[in-house]
A and B are shown apart, each in its own frame.
Chain A
Amino acid sequence: MNKKNDVSGMSRKNSIKFSVIRALAALAIALAVAFILIFVSAEGANFSEKMSASLKALREMLVSPLFRKNGTFSVKSFTDVLAQMIPIMFTGLATCIMFSANQFNLGAEGGIMLGAFVTALVAVYWHIPGPMLIVVAIVMGALATGLMMLIPAVLKAKLGVSEMVNSLMLNYVIMYMINYLMNTYLADTSKGVTQTQPFQANAIMPQLVSNGSRLSWGFVIAIIMVILCWFFMYRTRWGYGIRMTGINQPFVMYSGMNVAMIIILCQVLGGILAGMGGGIEMLGRYSVYNWIQQPQYGWTGITVAILAGNNPIYVPLAAFFMAYLTKGCTLMSTNANVPSQLISIIQAVIFLFFAAHQFLAGYRQKLVVKSAQEELAQKEAAERSGEK
């Protein structure tokens, strides 16, 4: 899972084997803990009743997101999960890039909201013919969010203000600003809930499948962005600068790179990605803008980035995991009577063990470093005796 592993030590094959075993072990422990929690809260007069109720709940969480009651694979369920991945892939990518430079910008939440809002406004009010409207609307949303991120980015680069605090607060500024604009000027007063006028017909994104999953072409764009982000981070000098800043900022300065520029760049790019995600989510799955609460995609994006080890290429995997888990937990809550508070705990436990799996990766890295050093020392000694 972690690219760092195959550069030092083990062969690639071994490294993959190790990663898979470790992931399965982490999942097994997490499920065991979850099972205990479910069992304790399960309804039932005796042990065997409790047991069967718990097993049913567990089945709901693990199997139901993709399979029907009779055990057959459900394409609809699968596309539902894929559709759920779209926004968190974007916020995940945004967070990956910002965290790579050690910039703990938490603004993806406000970012996806602002992107969605601006895109929605364009989709309602700008009269642009044909599918151009979709492109313009999403680009405007992305740009607006990129500009928004300039606030924490420039303050950090020029004055050293904590981007974490700033971006966190900004999320709420954005939310309340949108609510104010909605309530005061933009809301469709003919409706009982706060929402904008409907988008123009040519602003709706084409769907990949017509089964009602609302899996739009946004999924394909998200996958393309994953690849572009990977190339940007690992194959361009700017991505290189961002990654090196994350490892050792004084080194980057000493090497003659522009640290302030890098700090600003990564956050603006993060903003653009989050904004794009918001726009695509809007046009792909909605026909009006009606987010008055934070959609939580930004927070999930942070989890996704951490699971992916800040490497864009692992973002789809991590996003799939999170989408699957979220859906499983919802099903468990509705179909198996597991209290919703417990769902949050179980989700946290599973995440915790996966995060721990990342810590294990760090530990393993140390072990590999140690063995490599020993090996090198031996090699060195052998060479030296050879010289004599």
Chain B
Amino acid sequence: MGEEFVIQMKGITKVYPNGTVANQDVNFDVKKGEIHALMGENGAGKSTLMKMLFGLEQPTSGEILVNGEPVNLSSPTVAISHGIGMVHQHFMLVPSLTVAENMVLGMVPKKSGMLIDYKKAVALTEEYSKKFNLPVEANARVADIPVGMKQKVEILKALVRGAKILILDEPTAVLTTQETAELFVELENLKKQGYTMIFISHKLNEIMEITDRMTILRGGRSMGIYNTKDVTPEEISRLMVGRDVVLKVEKEPAQPGEEVLRVRDLEYINEWGKKMLDKVSLSVRKGEILGIAGVEGNGQKELVDMLFGFNTPNAGSVKVSGEEILGLNQREIRERHISLVPEDRMLYGIAATASIEENLISDRTANKELNKGILFNMSEIHKMSDQLVKDYTVLCKSAGQTIGSLSGGNIQKVVVAREFSNDPVLIIADQPTRGIDVGATEFIRKKLVELSRSGIAVLLVSADLNEVMELSDSLIIMCGGRIAAYFEDTRDLSDELMGKYMLGIEQQTPEEIRRVCHE
């Protein structure tokens, strides 16, 4: 293997217009013909760094060299002309077109100057498919082919465009174990033919298996470049997982009461046949906060979806206060006083062009106090929303203001105000402070603790280690759709230990994990 660098990124800093510093003085280089891992937790800056390399974003400062030449990657077209291709995590394919048609999008072979030469497109697809040993069906519609093949199409698409360097953004996130193994063989193949690959992932075993070197990012900074064979999984986990700023939240020890949420043996296999939840059992009691930590995509989202009726599991049961809630719709779930702070607040949490007030009443429009006969009792609605705006210190001119014009933190305060104020017995808080300012974060965390101490059961799902460790009375770690560990007390937990469980290096015994059921 030659020692020449095909990519060098020097002193890259990226500040987004909203002030987020996504990358700070990052150095990154890739040698010709290697598979280079880019590792880091969610929000560590991996995607931003790669977006800059693919021309989707421009660095605020720093320079990028391709084959030793400084380049200005102003758009993906420029990046492709320098031989850089990207395989996106969410496939950028047109589902209604065939594989061959997708393959030649934007570079269509023409017949007599006008017509699309479809035969040529198929021939080209088959030629590349054979050459790189990536079997695809050229005539099948993309909508009809399995995920694994879609990915091959994406890779081929990049290769057809002359890419010598492939950026693979979490390529295994959507694949089953078998498809992953297949992909690795194909990647090894490409490597032998002299292609260079950048492999974004946070799955340790995959990294150890396939990559030559790695760069670890944490909080937007580079933690160094390492040869894969020289580092142990433990070291990687320590470098990747760690806390920077610590917001302390004062809380008294929990005095758990009776069981509120009881989840038993929940199993879910997603539409692509991947097992996302594997015999998950847990209990949350009155007055305690149970945290769920873990790298995103390890079943947390699926678990929350099951609990709030967005999806149905293949097996298992979910009871709240002794009553089965699986199969209920959101209205019936809310009638049982279950609240959800949704992960995606813009999609589920709010109606952006409606007023703050209209967003505050969405779960209680049928309440007697807010209605006078068939009409709304507007004075009661104004009174209630003004009170909530005041109690939750939502920064706005009035409750009549459009919610979409508020900052992220204030939007989340509105969501939280609604979810916390309807007399809940169970609050599911999914990433409650993601992407919002420090002030709002602190406020929401204090509120969660306060509510739990008043006797409400809280299930907190968060990819933010600080948050789960500071807020939770006890916590579980999810990895690969299973509970990897349960800690009854979060006080003497170290980041290092958590990292090991989060990345699947260690796993507690079933007996230890079973303690979360409090039986």
Q: Which residues of A contact B (CB under 8 A)?
A: 4, 7-8, 231, 235-237, 240-241, 243-244, 247-248, 250-258, 368-369, 372-373, 376-377, 379-380, 383-384
Give the Cβ gap from A154 to chain B, nearest Cβ, in Å. Answer: 18
B362 near A376: Cβ-Cβ < 8 Å = no
User: Which chain A residues lie closer than 8 Å to B204 at the CB level?
Assistant: none
19 chain-A/chain-B pairs, Cβ below 8 angstroms: A8-B401, A8-B402, A231-B375, A240-B358, A243-B354, A243-B358, A244-B351, A248-B347, A251-B349, A254-B342, A254-B348, A256-B334, A257-B365, A369-B405, A373-B406, A376-B396, A376-B405, A379-B395, A380-B395
Give the Cβ gap from A381 to chain B, nearest Cβ, in Å. Answer: 11
In the bound assembly, the distance between CA atoms of A235 and B365 in angstroms comes to 11
A376 near B371: Cβ-Cβ < 8 Å = no
Give the Cβ gap from A53 to chain B, nearest Cβ, in Å. Answer: 46
In the bound assembly, the distance between CA atoms of A252 and B350 in angstroms comes to 9
A8 near B365: Cβ-Cβ < 8 Å = no
A377 near B407: Cβ-Cβ < 8 Å = yes
A244 near B375: Cβ-Cβ < 8 Å = no
- Nearest residue (CB) in A for B406 is A376
B365 near A252: Cβ-Cβ < 8 Å = no
In the bound assembly, the distance between CA atoms of A370 and B349 in angstroms comes to 21
A7 near B353: Cβ-Cβ < 8 Å = no
Contact status of A7 and B348, CB under 8 A, knowing A235-B375, A376-B407, A379-B395:
no
User: Which chain B residues lie closer than 8 Å to A368 at the CB level?
Assistant: 405
Judge if B400 is at the interface, Cβ distance under 8 Å.
yes
User: Which chain A residues lie closer than 8 Å to B246 at the CB level?
Assistant: none
A244 near B352: Cβ-Cβ < 8 Å = no
Q: Considering only CB atoms and an 8 Å cut-off, how many residues of chain B contact the other chain? A: 41
Give the Cβ gap from B320 to chain A, nearest Cβ, in Å. Answer: 15
In the bound assembly, the distance between CA atoms of A254 and B340 in angstroms comes to 9
A251 near B405: Cβ-Cβ < 8 Å = no
Contact status of A8 and B376, CB under 8 A, knowing A244-B362, A252-B362, A376-B395:
no
User: Which chain A residues lie closer than 8 Å to B145 at the CB level?
Assistant: none
User: Which chain B residues lie closer than 8 Å to A377 at the CB level?
Assistant: 407
In the bound assembly, the distance between CA atoms of A250 and B363 in angstroms comes to 13
User: Which chain A residues lie closer than 8 Å to B396 at the CB level?
Assistant: 376
Cross-chain contact of B376 among A4, A236, A248, A383 (Cβ < 8 A): A236
The 6 closest A-B pairs by CB, nearest first: A255-B362, A237-B365, A256-B331, A247-B351, A256-B334, A369-B405
Give the Cβ gap from B429 to chain A, nearest Cβ, in Å. Answer: 14
In the bound assembly, the distance between CA atoms of A258 and B329 in angstroms comes to 9
User: Which chain B residues lie closer than 8 Å to A4 at the CB level?
Assistant: 353, 402
Judge if B466 is at the interface, Cβ distance under 8 Å.
no
Cross-chain contact of A376 among B329, B375, B402, B410 (Cβ < 8 A): B410
Contact status of A235 and B378, CB under 8 A, knowing A251-B350, A258-B331, A376-B395:
yes
User: Which chain B residues lie closer than 8 Å to A372 at the CB level?
Assistant: 397, 401, 405
Cross-chain contact of A251 among B348, B402, B406, B407 (Cβ < 8 A): B348
Given contacts A7-B400, A252-B362, A372-B397, 15 further A-B contacts (CB under 8 A): A4-B353, A8-B405, A236-B374, A237-B366, A247-B352, A254-B330, A254-B340, A256-B330, A256-B333, A257-B331, A369-B404, A376-B395, A376-B405, A379-B395, A384-B439
In the bound assembly, the distance between CA atoms of A49 and B308 in angstroms comes to 75
Judge if B355 is at the interface, Cβ distance under 8 Å.
yes
A250 near B348: Cβ-Cβ < 8 Å = yes
- Nearest residue (CB) in A for B393 is A383
User: Which chain B residues lie closer than 8 Å to A244 at the CB level?
Assistant: 351, 354, 358, 362
Give the Cβ gap from B90 to chain A, nearest Cβ, in Å. Answer: 18
- Nearest residue (CB) in B for A251 is B351
A7 near B402: Cβ-Cβ < 8 Å = yes
Give the Cβ gap from A260 to chain B, nearest Cβ, in Å. Answer: 10
Q: Chain B, 323-357, contact with A by CB distance < 8 Å: what is the 0/1 string?
A: 00000011101110000101000011111111100
In the bound assembly, the distance between CA atoms of A243 and B405 in angstroms comes to 19
Give the Cβ gap from A253 to chain B, nearest Cβ, in Å. Answer: 6
- Nearest residue (CB) in B for A369 is B405
Give the Cβ gap from A310 to chain B, nearest Cβ, in Å. Answer: 12
A255 near B395: Cβ-Cβ < 8 Å = no
In the bound assembly, the distance between CA atoms of A86 and B406 in angstroms comes to 41
Q: Chain B, 452-487, contact with A by CB distance < 8 Å: what is the 0/1 string?
A: 000000000000000000000000000000000000
User: Which chain A residues lie closer than 8 Å to B402 at the CB level?
Assistant: 4, 7-8, 369
User: Which chain B residues lie closer than 8 Å to A235 at the CB level?
Assistant: 375-376, 378
Give the Cβ gap from B451 to chain A, nearest Cβ, in Å. Answer: 20
A255 near B330: Cβ-Cβ < 8 Å = yes
User: Which chain A residues lie closer than 8 Å to B347 at the CB level?
Assistant: 248, 250-251
Give the Cβ gap from B380 to chain A, nearest Cβ, in Å. Answer: 13
Contact status of A253 and B405, CB under 8 A, knowing A240-B358, A248-B352, A384-B439:
no
- Nearest residue (CB) in A for B418 is A255
- Nearest residue (CB) in A for B440 is A380
Give the Cβ gap from B447 to chain A, nearest Cβ, in Å. Answer: 18
- Nearest residue (CB) in B for A8 is B402
Give the Cβ gap from B363 to chain A, nearest Cβ, in Å. Answer: 5
In the bound assembly, the distance between CA atoms of A199 and B354 in angstroms comes to 48
- Nearest residue (CB) in A for B376 is A235
User: Which chain A residues lie closer than 8 Å to B406 at the CB level?
Assistant: 373, 376
Interface residue ranges of B357-371 to A (CB < 8 Å):
358, 361-363, 365-366, 371
In the bound assembly, the distance between CA atoms of A114 and B390 in angstroms comes to 52
A240 near B376: Cβ-Cβ < 8 Å = yes
A237 near B362: Cβ-Cβ < 8 Å = no
User: Which chain B residues lie closer than 8 Å to A373 at the CB level?
Assistant: 405-407
User: Which chain B residues lie closer than 8 Å to A379 at the CB level?
Assistant: 395
User: Which chain B residues lie closer than 8 Å to A252 at the CB level?
Assistant: 351, 362
In the bound assembly, the distance between CA atoms of A379 and B329 in angstroms comes to 41
B365 near A241: Cβ-Cβ < 8 Å = yes
Give the Cβ gap from A230 to chain B, nearest Cβ, in Å. Answer: 12
Give the Cβ gap from A284 to chain B, nearest Cβ, in Å. Answer: 29
B363 near A255: Cβ-Cβ < 8 Å = yes
B354 near A247: Cβ-Cβ < 8 Å = yes
User: Which chain A residues lie closer than 8 Å to B308 at the CB level?
Assistant: 254
Give the Cβ gap from B373 to chain A, nearest Cβ, in Å. Answer: 10
A237 near B404: Cβ-Cβ < 8 Å = no
Give the Cβ gap from B295 to chain A, nearest Cβ, in Å. Answer: 25
In the bound assembly, the distance between CA atoms of A320 and B239 in angstroms comes to 70
Give the Cβ gap from B361 to chain A, nearest Cβ, in Å. Answer: 8
- Nearest residue (CB) in B for A248 is B351
B351 near A253: Cβ-Cβ < 8 Å = no
A7 near B355: Cβ-Cβ < 8 Å = yes
Q: Chain B, 31-71, contact with A by CB distance < 8 Å: what is the 0/1 string?
A: 00000000000000000000000000000000000000000
Give the Cβ gap from B389 to chain A, nearest Cβ, in Å. Answer: 13
Give the Cβ gap from B437 to chain A, nearest Cβ, in Å. Answer: 8
User: Which chain A residues lie closer than 8 Å to B401 at the CB level?
Assistant: 7-8, 372
Interface residue ranges of B62-111 to A (CB < 8 Å):
none
Give the Cβ gap from B403 to chain A, nearest Cβ, in Å. Answer: 10
In the bound assembly, the distance between CA atoms of A27 and B427 in angstroms comes to 54
Give the Cβ gap from B504 to chain A, nearest Cβ, in Å. Answer: 32
In the bound assembly, the distance between CA atoms of A383 and B363 in angstroms comes to 32
Give the Cβ gap from A273 to chain B, nearest Cβ, in Å. Answer: 18
Q: Chain B, 110-127, contact with A by CB distance < 8 Å: what is the 0/1 string?
A: 000000000000000000
Give the Cβ gap from A363 to chain B, nearest Cβ, in Å. Answer: 14
In the bound assembly, the distance between CA atoms of A372 and B356 in angstroms comes to 14
Give the Cβ gap from B386 to chain A, nearest Cβ, in Å. Answer: 15
In the bound assembly, the distance between CA atoms of A257 and B335 in angstroms comes to 11
